[in-house]
Amino acid sequence: MARIKDVAELAGVNRSTVSRIINGEGKFREETRKKVEQAMAQLNYRPSAIARSLATSSSNMVGLLVTYYTGGFFGEMMEQVQTELDIHKKFLITAQGHHSAEGEKEAIQRFNDLRCDGYVLHSRYLSDDDLRELAKQPTPFVLLDRYVEGIEERCVTFNHHHASRIAVEHLLAGGHRKIACITGPSQRHNSLLRKLGYVDAMKDAGIDIDESWCEEGNYGRQSGYDAMAAILQRHPEVTAVFSCSEEMTVGAMQYLHEHNISVPEQISLTSFDSVELCESLYPTVSAVHFPISDMARVAVQTLMGLVKGQEIIDKPTFEAQLKIRKADRTLK
């Protein structure tokens, strides 16, 4: 197995030059850099990640905290974070928060134990105060899809309230008045924002609704199935339903198909969607796109700036975009 000494001898340079070029330190003539790279390729030399970590005080690892691993949303998030980290030659370490503040704290502690250079947090249970305290620690982090006052520069956010309004206003423009909502879990802030967007759109249209027009799910397919059943039992007169996640929409659509309720002839549907799942349903469902892929990339770019001590650049503002499809109709 080739050693750094062998690379140095073949390239005609000293070992410290090889080491510094491998670790991206210092400035060298392009000719010198090419000689070292060619020698590494010829000898099939691969630097030890552990050795580089000790030499540079960097583990080259980045932590990603997620709620859970299943579902297209989290799969897309992890893929985009990894893709962006590959550009920076960083390794991805993932951990689940296990639906509790304590679980999220334990995951972050594991990142620290592994000497991660930083972490991207899709935190749902740590309090704002917890996160502000965490920001005082030396290891940088970025919050994905969450806003915390006082650490705004670390937050990559999306306007969930406005997105819901757009989806419901689309149904209202089609003449629907009896519109129900399948909401997300009430303990999550963004779920409440999505529900509030529905409520505000209905109120602004002069439509009085109560809690019976909303049914809470947990963002899973079965909960969407059960929510649709509950809504139709309470309000058989409903003409349209807005679902706050694509997975719940899949379950809702399954219930309608199994009970021979035609879409959109009898029930119109709109939804949130982060992974274009609504485009694969039959009929395809109009949805407000939640750009988790773009947000994940920006989160990593922001984190890499923090790791390198660079001044944080202005982050783009992510707004909702409604994609019109075929699972809703205009009432005559």
Print pLDDT tens along the chain (332 aa): 778 888 888 889 888 787 777 766 667 888 888 888 888 888 888 766 555 554 555 688 999 999 876 667 888 888 999 999 999 888 899 999 988 999 999 999 999 988 899 999 999 899 999 999 999 999 999 999 999 999 999 999 999 999 999 999 999 999 999 999 999 999 888 999 999 999 999 999 999 999 999 999 999 999 999 999 999 999 999 999 999 999 999 999 999 999 999 999 999 999 999 888 999 999 999 999 999 899 999 999 999 999 988 877 677 778 889 999 999 999 97
For the domain made up of 160-290, the CATH class stated in words is: alpha beta
Tell me whether domains 4-56 and 160-290 share a fold: no
The pLDDT tens digits for 146-167 are 999 999 999 999 999 999 999 9
pLDDT, residue 172, reads 98
pLDDT, residue 49, reads 56
The pTM assigned to this predicted structure is 0.80
pLDDT, residue 109, reads 94
Return the number of other C-beta atoms located less than 10 Å from residue 207's C-beta. 15
Q: Between 189-204 and 160-173, two packed helices, what is the crossing angle to 10 degrees?
A: 30
pLDDT, residue 64, reads 94
pLDDT, residue 170, reads 97
What residue ranges do the domains of the chain occupy? Answer: 4-56, 61-158+292-319, 160-290
pLDDT, residue 31, reads 87
Pair of tokens at residue 82: 């990894």
> Which CATH number is 61-158+292-319 given?
3.40.50.2300
Return the number of other C-beta atoms located less than 10 Å from residue 218's C-beta. 18
Return the number of other C-beta atoms located less than 10 Å from residue 63's C-beta. 23
User: CA 141, CA 148: separation in Å to the nearest integer?
Assistant: 13
Phi, psi of 132 (to 5 degrees): -65, -40
Give the CATH H-level superfamily of domain 4-56: lambda repressor-like DNA-binding domains (1.10.260.40)
